[in-house]
Amino acid sequence: MKDRHLFLFGGSPPFGKILGRKFANLSLNDNGKVAILFIEKDGWEDYMKKYKSVLEENGLVQVTYLPLSSKPSKSTIEELISCTGIIICGGETELYHNYIVETLMAKHIREMYEQGVPVSGFSAGALICPKNCVIPPIDNTENKHLFLNGLGLIKNCCISVHFTKWDEEENLKTALARTQLSIGYGIDDEAGIYFKNETLSLTEGKIINFVID
């Protein structure tokens, strides 16, 4: 069985130096090609440079941009499964949930993850990766906690992003109580966590751990 690799970031790109190097090294198998999954909007081409910068510094230069939709095309799925790394961008979390978790993409991302393809999620991308996708009130149109099914790449914890910026401590505690999970990670902007086989392996920047007995 191959090792599984999950990187979750609390804010926007770029990758931190440490976790960026780790992700790039893991994605360089077979010369390396990373899929960047994003919701298309004005100026997206320039914004992609932020995702690429640290990766290019570490020798990973081949990327493919896959704009998301509610019905991913056959060619999009084929391009995705040809990649050796996956980045899920940030933005409107509900849309990322609808365009990834609720579509055929979810199945293929889970299969690739199980096969050892590293997955990175930034902000919204991080929130949809666990089994329990918890979207805080500040981050959705209903202005209340949303408890949704996520990708299920990690099952034993809750994730909170923009932790200090959004003052998320009470929201994370509420999420833990509702999901009946005992571990929560509050990830600040410019911070990230690397899980190897769903076990915390490495952090960069400010991470707040909550463990409830």
Question: For the chain, what is the largest distance between any 2 Cα atoms, rounded to a whole number of angstroms?
Answer: 47
pTM above 0.75, yes or no: yes
Residues in the chain: 213
> Residue 132 phi/psi, 5° resolution?
-100, 110
Question: Would you write out the chain's pLDDT as a tens digit for each of its 213 residues?
Answer: 799 999 999 999 999 999 999 999 999 876 789 999 999 988 888 889 999 999 999 999 899 999 999 999 999 999 999 999 999 999 999 999 999 999 999 999 999 999 999 999 999 999 999 999 999 999 998 999 999 999 999 999 999 999 999 999 999 999 999 999 999 999 999 999 999 999 999 999 999 988 876
CA atoms of 209 and 158, how far apart (whole Å): 10
Residue ranges and CATH numbers for the domains of the chain are 5-211 (3.40.50.880)
Task: Convert 104-128 into a string of H (helix), E (strand) and C (coil).
Answer: HHHHHHHHHHHCCCCEEEECHHHHC
